[in-house]
Amino acid sequence: MVTIKERHQVLDWLVNNLMSPEALAHPLATRDFSADDWAYVVEGVPHEYRPLLWRSLLPASQPAILCAMRDDARKHLLAELASDEVNELLALSSADQLLVLYEQLPSKLARQVISELPKQARSSVKDALSYHEDQLGRYVNHDVVTVLPQTLVADVLLDLKQRQLPPYTDVLVVMDEQERYLGLASLDALFSASRKVAVSEVMMSEVGILPNVSLLDASNRVKASGLSMLPVVDEQGILLGRFSLRDSLDVMQEHYEEQLSHMGNVSDEDLFAPVAISARRRAVWLGINLATAFLASAVIGLFEAVLVQVVALAVLMPIVASMGGITGSQTLTLTIRGLATGQLSAANLTPLANKELRVAAINAVLWAAVVGVVAAWWFGNGWLAFIIILALVVNMLVAVVSGIVIPVILNRVGIDPALAGSVILTTVTDVVGFFVFLGSATLLFL
Amino acid sequence: MVTIKERHQVLDWLVNNLMSPEALAHPLATRDFSADDWAYVVEGVPHEYRPLLWRSLLPASQPAILCAMRDDARKHLLAELASDEVNELLALSSADQLLVLYEQLPSKLARQVISELPKQARSSVKDALSYHEDQLGRYVNHDVVTVLPQTLVADVLLDLKQRQLPPYTDVLVVMDEQERYLGLASLDALFSASRKVAVSEVMMSEVGILPNVSLLDASNRVKASGLSMLPVVDEQGILLGRFSLRDSLDVMQEHYEEQLSHMGNVSDEDLFAPVAISARRRAVWLGINLATAFLASAVIGLFEAVLVQVVALAVLMPIVASMGGITGSQTLTLTIRGLATGQLSAANLTPLANKELRVAAINAVLWAAVVGVVAAWWFGNGWLAFIIILALVVNMLVAVVSGIVIPVILNRVGIDPALAGSVILTTVTDVVGFFVFLGSATLLFL
C-alpha cells in the first residue's frame, strides 16, 4: 500500500511535469497504486491535462479508478474523452461499476450499454436503477457469501477453504433455498462452534436493511451494528446483497463534503472543473445572492431621507447586519446538525429555542452595549447609541428564531437546510436589521 | 439492534415525559439499546434533565455510554454529576475508557484515577497520554489478536476455536517474541492455507501506522488498506495495538462535524450546552466579528462627505460587500477541501488560482453589468453605475485571491482554515469593497 505522503509526492511530480514538455516519462504505472490512489491523483491534476494522464493508465484499471473519483470530476473527465475511449472503458466495466458511472453518462449511451449486458447482469442493473441515486437499492453489493441453514459447520469451513472471501466479510449470510434471508453467521462463531452442528445453531438474528432506505440511514445502521457489513433484504424478505462499513464510510464522507460545499455556496464541485461549467454553476448562487442583496438595498432605499440627515447611520449599518448574521448562523448550524443526526425533532425544538434565545439575549445585551458606547463616543450622539442598541437586540433575537425555523421548514419540504438555509437567514437578518435601525432613526430624527 | 427510527421514538417519548411529572416510568432500561443508542438519546435531552435520565441508566453501562457521547456533551454531563457519582463511574471504567474521558475530567481527579490503576494498565495509559489528543498514539486499541510467525496454521485455527475475536478483526497480527511487528495474516488466508505450514508462509506485509500520525491520517490509511483494521507500530517496530475501520469512521465524522461547526461560527457544541457556557463561547466569535465589522465601519467613515452628497451609495453598499463575500467563500470552500484532502499543494496552487480567477472574472463582468444597469435605472445616474461596476469587479477578483491565499497561509501556520478563514475573508472583501466603491465615488463626485 502507498502512504498518503507518497500519493502527495506523485501528484506534485505529475503536476510539475505535466506543465513542462517532459510529459509522462515517469515509471509511475509500475507503482503499487490502488484505484483510490489514482483517483486522488487524477482529481488533483488540472482539467486540461487529465486526458493526457488518463491515457497513460492501464485500460483494465480505468473503470475502477473512474468509480473511485468524485461524481463531478468523473463527469468532466468523461466529457473530455473521445466516444471510442468511453465505449472501450464501458466494455471493460462490471455491472456494479456501470451503476456507479450511470448518472454521469449521456443517457442514450447508458441505456445502450446496459441493453448489451448479459441477461442476468442486465436484470440486476435494471432493478438497481429502479431506486433513486440516494437510496441503498442503487448500490447494493452482490459480492456476498451465503450459506444454507441446514449446512453443517464442518462443510461451511471446508467451503471457505476453497474460496476467497470478499473484503469486509466478518459474517456469512444465511438464506434458504428460496433466497429468503434468515440471519447471520459470524466467522468467529463458525470457528468456535462444534463442526457437527448446523449453521442455524450458530446463526444470530439481525434485521436486514431495506433497499428503499437512504444511503445515509443505511450507513448509520451498519455503523451501529458492530459488524463490517449488513445484508440488504427487500420487503418480501429476499436477500439482495450487502452493504459494508467501507461503503458507509464513503457515503458519510460524500455527505459531509456536500454539506461543507453547500455552506460555502458552491455545489460539490470538482477542484479543477472546466471554467465554463464552474462559472455557470456559481452564477446561480451569485444571482440568488444578488436578488437578496437588492432586497436589502430596497429596504435601505426606503430610508434615504434619514440617511441624508444622519450619515452616521450609513457608517454603522454593516454592524447591525453582520452581528445578526453571525448570531443566526450559530443557531442555524446547531439546528442543521441536530436535524441531520435526528436528535432534533418536534419534542425538543421548544427547549432548544428556549436555550438559544437565552444565549442570544445575553450576547445581544453585552455587544449592543459595547456598540452603543462606541457609537455614542464616535458620533457624540446618545440617540444614535440608543437606536443601534435597539436594532442589534431585536435583530439578534430574530436571527435566533430564524436560525431554528428556517432549517426546520426547509427540512420538512425536503430541501437540504445546508443548501439554502444561510442565504435565507442572511436575507432575514439584513432586512430586519436595516428596517429596525433605519426605521427607528426615521421616527427619532425626522 | 435498534433501528434509527426506534431511537428517535425513544428520544421523543423521553423528552415529552421529562417535561411532565411522569418522569421516567418507562421500561426503557430493559430495551436492547447499545451504548451508541443511549449516547444519542442523552445528547438529545435538554441539559437540565440529563442527570435525571443518567441516574436511571445501569451503572455498569455508563462508562461506555459516556465514551460514545460527543466531547462537549460529556463534559457538561460530568460537571452536573456529584463527585461520588463521578468516582463510581471512573472506578467502573476500563483503562481505554479512561483515556477517552481524560480530557473532560478535572485534571487532579484524572491524575488520581490513573495512579490507582493496576501497574500494567497505568503504564499503558501513561504511554498513551504522552501523545497529543489528535494523535493516533492516544487511542490505540489494545484488543488485538497476535500470532507468532513459526506457529502452524493448524494451531492458530485451534486457538481461534477457543477465543472470541474482537469486532472488526479480519486479520491476525504476526509478531515475534520481542513483540516486533512482522506482518498480517488474514483469516481468509489462514482458512485457505494448508494446516501444516507456518503462519509466516501466509503472512502478507503491510506497513504499520506510526503512533505519532494524526488520527485523520491514520483513518485515511485504514480506509485505503481494504482491511477492517491496521496495526499500530512504533519507530522501533514494536507492536502497540490496532486501529479499526470503525475507529476511522468515528474520526472522520468528528472531523467533518468540527469543520461544519467552524464554518457556522460555533465551536463543536453540545446541542443542549448550558446557557452560560454556550453564551461565553459564542461571545468570542461575536466579539471577533464585531471587531471586523468596526473595521468596515471605519472605512465607510472615511467617506462620510461623499455619502452625504450621494445617498444612493449607502443604498448600494451592501451589494458590493455581499457579492465579494460570496465569491470569496466559493473559492475558500474549494481551497479548504483541497488542503484537507491533500490534493492541493505548492504544485497546483497556480493552476487553481488561474482557473478561479477566470471563473470569477466571467461572473464579475456578468453580475456587475446587471447591477450597473439596475443602478443606472434606479438612480438615473450613469456615473454611479460605472463606479459600482468597477467596485464589484475589483472586489470579486480580490475575493478569489483572498479565498486561496488566506487558507493556505492559515494552514501553513497551523490554524484550521475552516475556523478563521471566512471571518478574515469577509473582512477583506468588506474593506476592499467599501474602499473601492466609496473611494472612486469621492474622486468622481466631490
3-state secondary structure of A176: coil
> What are the beta bridge partners of residue A174?
A147, A183
Would you state the pLDDT for residue B4?
A: 66
Count of beta carbons in the 10 Å neighbourhood of residue A32: 8
Nearest to B168 by CA among B248, B64, B252: B248
Shortest Cα–Cα distance, B362 to chain A (Å): 7
DSSP A73-91: HHHHHHHHS-HHHHHHHHH
What confidence tens digit (pLDDT) does each residue in B177-190 have? 999 999 999 999 99
DSSP A6-51: HHHHHHHHHHHHHSSTTTT-SGGGGS---HHHHHHHHHHS-GGGHH
Q: What is the pTM of this model?
A: 0.90
- Does B288 contact chain A (CB < 8 Å)? no
What confidence tens digit (pLDDT) does each residue in B258-316 have? 999 998 888 878 999 999 999 999 999 999 999 999 999 999 999 999 999 999 999 99
**Chain A residues in contact with B192 (beta carbon < 8 A):** 160-164
The two beta strands, A146-147 and A171-175, are parallel
Residues near B184 by beta carbon (within 8 Å), at least 6 away in sequence: B171, B172, B173, B174, B203, B204, B205, B206, B227, B231
Cα(B207)–Cα(B270) distance, rounded to whole angstroms?
38
Q: Do B334 and A269 touch (CB under 8 A)?
A: yes
Mean pLDDT of B35-50: 88
**Chain B residues in contact with A374 (beta carbon < 8 A):** 294
Shortest Cα–Cα distance, B12 to chain A (Å): 5
Per the CB < 8 A criterion, the answer to whether B142 and B96 are in contact is: yes
Would you state the pLDDT for residue B370?
A: 97
Would you state the pLDDT for residue B21?
A: 47
Phi, psi values for residue B58, rounded to 5°: -60, 125
Q: Do B275 and A300 touch (CB under 8 A)?
A: no
Per the CB < 8 A criterion, the answer to whether A332 and B264 are in contact is: yes
Nearest to B76 by CA among B51, B58, B111: B51
Q: Do A333 and B266 touch (CB under 8 A)?
A: yes
For the record, the C-alpha cell of A31 comes out as: 507503482
Cα(A375)–Cα(A388) distance, rounded to whole angstroms?
8
Question: What interhelical angle do A312-341 and A417-445 show, nearest 10?
Answer: 150
Degrees, nearest 5: CA angle A370-A371-A372: 90
What confidence tens digit (pLDDT) does each residue in B335-379 have? 999 998 888 888 889 999 999 999 999 999 999 999 999 999 999
3-state secondary structure of A238: strand
Phi, psi values for residue B255, rounded to 5°: -60, -50
Residue in B49, B158, B337, B427 to test binding to A, most A beta-carbons within 10 Å: B337
Would you state the pLDDT for residue A26?
A: 52
Nearest to A14 by CA among A40, A32, A36, A3: A40
**Chain A residues in contact with B12 (beta carbon < 8 A):** 345-347
Cα(A180)–Cα(A168) distance, rounded to whole angstroms?
22
Mean pLDDT of A99-112: 89
Q: Is A237 exposed, middle or buried (0-12, 13-18, 19+ CB in 10 A)?
A: middle
DSSP A118-142: -HHHHHHHHHHHTS-TTBGGGG-B-
Q: Do B272 and A352 touch (CB under 8 A)?
A: yes
3-state secondary structure of B169: coil
Residue written as cell 450576547?
Answer: A363
| Residue B325's pLDDT band (cuts 50, 70, 90) | very high
Q: Do B188 and A36 touch (CB under 8 A)?
A: no
For A186, the enclosing helix (H) or strand (E) is: strand A181-186
Average pLDDT, rounded, for chain B:
91
Average pLDDT, rounded, for chain A:
91
Of A249, A313, A332, the CB nearest to B223: A249
Cα(B153)–Cα(B371) distance, rounded to whole angstroms?
76
Q: A 37-56 residues with CB below 8 A of B? A: 37, 40, 43-47
Q: What percent of chain B has pLDDT over 90?
A: 72
Would you state the pLDDT for residue A107?
A: 85
By mean pLDDT, which of A10-14, A17-21, A249-253 is the weakest?
A17-21
Of A271, A272, A347, the CB nearest to B12: A347
Would you state the pLDDT for residue A345?
A: 83
Phi, psi values for residue A87, rounded to 5°: -60, -45
Cα(B234)–Cα(B243) distance, rounded to whole angstroms?
13
Cα(B130)–Cα(B138) distance, rounded to whole angstroms?
8
Per the CB < 8 A criterion, the answer to whether B325 and B425 are in contact is: yes
Would you state the pLDDT for residue B1?
A: 55
What confidence tens digit (pLDDT) does each residue in A47-78 have? 888 988 898 888 899 999 999 999 999 999 99
ipTM for this prediction: 0.90
**Chain B residues in contact with A363 (beta carbon < 8 A):** 279, 282-283, 286
| Residue A224's pLDDT band (cuts 50, 70, 90) | confident
**Chain B residues in contact with A43 (beta carbon < 8 A):** 343
Q: A 267-286 residues with CB below 8 A of B? A: 269, 271-273, 275, 278-279, 282-283, 285-286
Count of beta carbons in the 10 Å neighbourhood of residue B276: 11
Nearest to B255 by CA among A208, A143, A259: A259
Q: How far is CA B400 from the centre of its chain?
A: 25
Mean pLDDT of A390-414: 96
Of B226, B275, B336, the CB nearest to A358: B275
Res B24 pLDDT > 60? no
Domains and CATH numbers, chain A: 4-130 (1.25.60), 146-263 (3.10.580.10), 275-445 (1.10.357.20)
**Chain A residues in contact with B11 (beta carbon < 8 A):** 343, 345, 347-348
| Residue A27's pLDDT band (cuts 50, 70, 90) | low
Cα(B332)–Cα(B262) distance, rounded to whole angstroms?
14
Q: Is B196 exposed, middle or buried (0-12, 13-18, 19+ CB in 10 A)?
A: exposed
Res A304 pLDDT > 50? yes
By mean pLDDT, which of A100-109, B4-13, B87-96, B192-201 is the weakest?
B4-13
Would you state the pLDDT for residue A38?
A: 86
Would you state the pLDDT for residue A21?
A: 47
**Chain B residues in contact with A314 (beta carbon < 8 A):** 300, 304, 307, 313-314, 317
**Chain B residues in contact with A220 (beta carbon < 8 A):** 4
